[in-house]
Amino acid sequence: MDRAELANKLQPFIEECAKRQKPLEKACLEEFISGDPTSYFLLVKSDWIDKVSSSESLEFLFDVLWDTTVVETREKIFTILLIKPGSQFAHLPFMAENSIIGIKQNTLTGHSKSAPKQPAFGEGRTPLLSDNTRG
């Protein structure tokens, strides 16, 4: 399943988040291992995520994911990463013009463009274990 197909299969997830009064502003699929389209990170950003704990956000998002997708789709999502101000992921080039998927008017769209070359693992990234791991 490629990114565009996965983005399409995540459409009910995006719509259900909005129906439950917790719409996502931005979402992006990134390959877990660069060049291997078998498992993805789902990066999400929204104002409501900034206002609640990370565990509360993830509980909601995973509940909706389970309610709206089939096993084959969920197997492609390695994890959901929350993009919050001050988090170790806040510096990522999130939702650039050529991003893989994006939300426009509460819909998830897939783009046929190939992903830009990603840096080697850890290159230019903030370490996952740091003093700033609180959500």
Q: In this structure, are residues 74 and 6 in contact, taking their beta carbons and an 8 Å threshold?
A: no
Question: 74, 79, 76: which is closest to 36 by C-alpha?
Answer: 76
What length does the chain have?
135
Q: How would you classify residue 129: left for phi > 0, otherwise alpha for psi between -120 and 50, otherwise beta? A: beta
Domains of the chain: 3-110 (3.30.300)
Q: In this structure, are residues 110 and 101 in contact, taking their beta carbons and an 8 Å threshold?
A: yes
pLDDT in tens, the chain (135 residues): 888 899 899 999 999 999 999 999 888 888 888 888 888 889 898 999 999 999 999 999 999 999 999 999 999 999 999 988 766 565 555 544 434 454 544 444 444 344 444 444 334 443 333 344 334
Model pTM score: 0.67
C-beta neighbour count of 87 within 10 angstroms: 18
